[in-house]
Each structure stands twice: as C-alpha cells, then as structure tokens.
C-alpha cells in the first residue's frame, strides 16, 4: 500500500443516531483507540455520525482526505437504517457484490442459535467489490477491509463484544502484517484516590519532565474523585515495554503508594470488595438522610452477599434511637462526630457484623457554606472517626462522600493486614 516510511494516521468513525442522541454511550471508540496505541498507530481524529447515507458519505470523504486508516463501527446490521456498507461503496465508486461465504457464515450462526436467517440478513453478505471480507464467528454482522489510493477503510460491527473480537483477531493482525508495523506501545494506568491532581503533579514533577520512554500522563476524573497516572512505554517487544513501565511504576509507588488503590480496569469498589472477601469480614452501614449512595454501591458490588450485612438510612432521631439505640439528643440540625460514631456502633451491634460504618452529614445552609460530614468506622478495636468538608458549590458531592467512606474501610483493612495482631 506504499505507507511505509511516513507517519501513519488513523481515524475512527462511530455510526449510529442513538450515539448522537445520547441513548448509548460510545465505548467502542475508546476501546479501539486504546488498541491502536498498542501497535504504535496514532489516532488523529474521531467522529460520530447518525444513520444518514449522505452524512456518512461526507464523513468518510473527509476521513479519506486526511487519514491513512479509517475504522468504522456500527451501521452494518440487516435493517434499512444500517447504511455503512452502502456509504463505503459509493465513496469508493464500487458496486456492492454478494459474498456467498459470508452468507453461509451468517446462516451457520443462526443455525447454532436454533434460528433461521431472515431475508434481511442477506444484505449483510454484500461488500464493496474487491474488499477483503472479515467473517464474524461471534455475531451476524461480517465486516470488510477496502483498500484504495494507499488508504484502508476497515469496517467492524457496532455490538461491543463483536467489535472487540474483530479488533483482536482481524484488525490488529491486518495492520501489523499488511503495513509492517512492528513498534509496540504498552500503557498501564495507576489509579489514585484521596489526593489532588496538583499534589500528584508536584510529587512526580521530575519523573514527568525526565520521561521520554516511558512517558507519564495525568488525568483527573472529577466525577469519581480519582487521579489516573498513565505510564506509556514504546518498544519493539511487549515484554520490554512492560519492563520499562514496571521500573517507572516502582518509583511512583515509592512516592504515592498510600493513594494508589488499583491499576488499569480495576475499580475502587471492586478492589474493596475483594479485600473484604479475602479478610472474611462483614460490613454494615447506617447513614443520615443527607448521606451518600454507599448502601446502593455496596449492594451492587461483586460478591456483596458475602460481606454486606445491613444498610440503614436514618431519617430522624426517633428512628436512630429505636433501631440503633442512639440517644435522642442527637438531632439533625447539629452534626457531631458522636452521631457518626453512634450510627457506626449501633448498626454493627444490630447486624452483628465485624465492621460498622456510620455517616452523619449536614448539607450546606447557603452560599459560601460547606457540606459537613462525619464518617465513623466501628470495629473490634474501637471506633475511628474523621470529618470532611466540601464547598457548597462543589460538584459530585455524593460520589466523593461515598468513596471517602469506603476509603476508611479500605484503610482499616490494609492496616489490619500489615499488623495482624
């Protein structure tokens, strides 16, 4: 294709009106972008277009004028509004031709599912003349690769698990073998909570400035209160790139270990759930009406029946007194650490759990005021309590509150592991 010896540019086009309407979040483009980095291919553009033939054609023409590889996802189903294959054929000036082998594959898939392919599915076996067909053993939408004028248009399904299969088994091998791409880029993400982006940047400043391979990138996820530190190494072999990342990660952990809770696809909730299950401890929660979403979060964790005993939302002092034996003098107008401690100890006692988490909060009374929250954790060795304040105008308070409370549980579990006695 004559592409060696110059910088190659990739572009992703996500097709689907549902993406433009916000009915579906485009996770496909993010995954494809991440996969392209593993072979050292730079993504320069990413577009989203609805199910409209003329607009898809216009988007493809723009992409052909500026990129070497255009990967589209979506729009190759059997319905009338699946128009990607027609758009590609018209842009390239080629007729759509029927591919019997692809239709046999579609029919076989339906047979395995105990069904029969409909006449509409025949449409999915048409590809532009001269295109390279890509069978789809995990679905009904075959793809194809069309090369023209030193460019390549690569068509993959919009169904996420089918797209992922295509990327791994067809797209990346094609790009490596056909285009002679040998360089491998490997990324690793360290996930932090409980520290701000500016402080992370300050602690890693020298490593960031010195780093050329691997490089360090910081990304603040405000909604979930996390800082992600991405390490990216480039080498001729994956193992060598991973070794470079591992060496740099060790230096970062020396400076930020207390804030690092996970890596890559790990979530705070998933890591905490695993810690609880490994420790064999149970947890119960009581929170005031101005609280977090922690009860729902704990219920949704993988394996939660193994460790989550009880969740109580206290809406008044009478309920607190009846359910948790908390003195009625604790009102909700004045938030006090002892209220959180009483909630933690009361729910631990009521549920018979190893750990009890209490959250007592007061919403900001007005402009310039702070949200005030006390978070207490009751355990066999006593009850620990912290106070947190967030500005009234701060966004995503509920998420921050929930994760801060979970952080107290994680901290206790880690300290317990470090000092079993």
For residues 30 and 157, state if they share a domain: yes
Q: Judge whether residue 337 has pLDDT over 50.
A: yes
Q: What is the CATH number of the domain that holds 258?
A: 3.30.70.2860
For residues 172 and 194, state if they share a domain: no
The total of structural domains in the chain comes to 3
- Asked if residue 324 is part of any domain, the answer here is yes
The confidence score (pLDDT) of residue 338 equals: 83
Q: Judge whether residue 336 has pLDDT over 90.
A: no
For residues 272 and 173, state if they share a domain: no
For residues 362 and 291, state if they share a domain: yes
pLDDT band at 210 (very low <50, low <70, confident <90, very high): confident
Of 241, 263, 285, which residue is a domain's last? 263
For residues 250 and 115, state if they share a domain: no
pLDDT band at 133 (very low <50, low <70, confident <90, very high): very high
- Asked if residue 4 is part of any domain, the answer here is no
For residues 323 and 225, state if they share a domain: no
- Asked if residue 55 is part of any domain, the answer here is yes
Q: Judge whether residue 191 has pLDDT over 70.
A: yes
Region 184-204 average pLDDT: 91
For residues 408 and 287, state if they share a domain: yes
The confidence score (pLDDT) of residue 291 equals: 54
Q: What percent of the chain has pLDDT over 90?
A: 57
For residues 167 and 224, state if they share a domain: no
- Asked if residue 242 is part of any domain, the answer here is yes
For residues 94 and 204, state if they share a domain: no
Tokens of 251: 């230096």
Pairing verdict, β 69-73 and 151-156: parallel
Range picked from 37-51, 83-97, 339-353 for highest mean pLDDT: 83-97
- Asked if residue 2 is part of any domain, the answer here is no
Q: What is the 3-state secondary structure (H, E, C) of the chain?
A: CCCCCCCCEEEEEEECHHHHCCCCCCHHHHHHHHHHHCCCCEEEEEEEECCCHHHHHHHHHHHHHHCCEEEEECCCCCCCCCCHHHHHHHHHCCCEEECHHHHHHHHHHHHHCCCCCCHHHHHHHEEECCCEEECCCCCCCCEEEEEECCEEEEEECCCHHHHHHHHHHHHHHHHHHHHCCCCEEEEEEEEEECCCHHHHHHHCHHHHHHCCCCEEEEEEECCCCEEEEEEEEEECCHHHHHHHHHHHHHHHHHHHHHHEEEECCCCHHHHHHHHHHHHCCCEEEEEECCCCCHHHHHHHCCCHHHCEEEEEEECCHHHHHHHHCCCCCCCCCCCCHHHHHHHHHHHHHHHCCCEEEEEEEECCCCCCCEEEEEEEEEECCEEEEEEEEEECCCCCHHHHHHHHHHHHHHHHHHHHHHCCC
pLDDT band at 238 (very low <50, low <70, confident <90, very high): confident
Of 179, 213, 239, which residue is a domain's last? 179
For residues 219 and 330, state if they share a domain: no
Of 245, 263, 281, which residue is a domain's last? 263
Gyration radius of the chain over CA positions: 27
- Asked if residue 240 is part of any domain, the answer here is yes
- Asked if residue 290 is part of any domain, the answer here is yes
Q: What is the CATH number of the domain that holds 122?
A: 3.40.980.10
Tokens of 283: 């947890």
For residues 250 and 323, state if they share a domain: no
d(CA 140, CA 127): 14
- Asked if residue 198 is part of any domain, the answer here is yes
- Taking the CB of residue 269, how many other CB atoms lie within 10 A of it? 18
For residues 158 and 174, state if they share a domain: yes
Q: What is the CATH number of the domain that holds 310?
A: 3.90.950.20
- Find the domain containing 135 and state its range: 9-179
Whole-structure pTM over 0.75, yes or no?
A: no
């Amino acid at each position: 294709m004559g592409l060696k010896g110059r910088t190659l540019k990739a572009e992703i086009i996500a097709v689907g009106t549902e993406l433009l309407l916000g009915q579906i979040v485009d996770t496909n483009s993010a995954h494809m972008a991440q996969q392209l980095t593993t072979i050292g291919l730079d993504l320069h553009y990413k577009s989203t277009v609805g199910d409209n033939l003329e607009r898809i054609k216009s988007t493809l023409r723009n992409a052909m004028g500026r990129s070497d590889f255009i990967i589209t996802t979506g729009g190759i189903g059997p319905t009338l509004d699946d128009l990607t294959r027609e758009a590609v054929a018209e842009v390239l000036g080629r007729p759509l031709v029927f591919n019997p082998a692809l239709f046999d594959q579609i029919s076989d898939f339906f047979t395995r599912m105990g069904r029969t392919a409909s006449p509409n599915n025949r449409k999915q076996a048409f590809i532009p003349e001269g295109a390279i067909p890509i069978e789809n053993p995990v679905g009904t939408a075959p793809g194809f690769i069309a090369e023209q004028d030193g460019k390549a248009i690569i068509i993959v399904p919009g169904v996420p698990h089918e797209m992922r299969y295509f990327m791994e088994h067809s797209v990346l091998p094609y790009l490596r073998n056909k285009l002679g791409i040998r360089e491998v880029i490997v990324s690793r993400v360290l996930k932090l909570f409980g520290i701000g982006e500016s402080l992370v940047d300050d602690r890693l400043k020298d490593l960031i400035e010195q780093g050329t391979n691997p490089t360090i990138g910081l990304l603040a996820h405000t909604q979930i209160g996390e800082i992600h530190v991405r390490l990216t190494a480039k080498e001729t072999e994956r193992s060598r790139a991973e070794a470079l990342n591992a060496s740099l990660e060790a230096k970062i952990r020396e400076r930020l270990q207390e804030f690092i809770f996970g890596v890559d696809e790990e979530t705070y909730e998933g890591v905490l759930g695993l810690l609880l299950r490994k420790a064999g401890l149970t947890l119960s929660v009581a929170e005031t009406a101005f609280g977090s979403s922690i009860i729902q979060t704990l219920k949704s964790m993988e394996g939660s029946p193994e460790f989550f005993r009880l969740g109580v939302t206290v809406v008044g002092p009478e309920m607190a007194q009846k359910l948790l034996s908390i003195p009625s003098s604790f009102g909700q107008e004045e938030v006090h650490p002892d209220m959180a401690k009483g909630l933690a100890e009361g729910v631990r006692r009521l549920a018979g759990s190893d750990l009890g988490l209490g959250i007592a909060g007061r919403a900001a009374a007005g402009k310039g005021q702070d949200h005030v929250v006390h978070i207490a954790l009751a355990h066999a060795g006593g009850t620990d309590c912290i106070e947190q304040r967030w500005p009234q105008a701060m966004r995503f308070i509920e998420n921050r509150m929930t994760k801060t409370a979970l952080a107290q549980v994680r901290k206790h579990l880690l300290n317990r592991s470090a000092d079993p006695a």
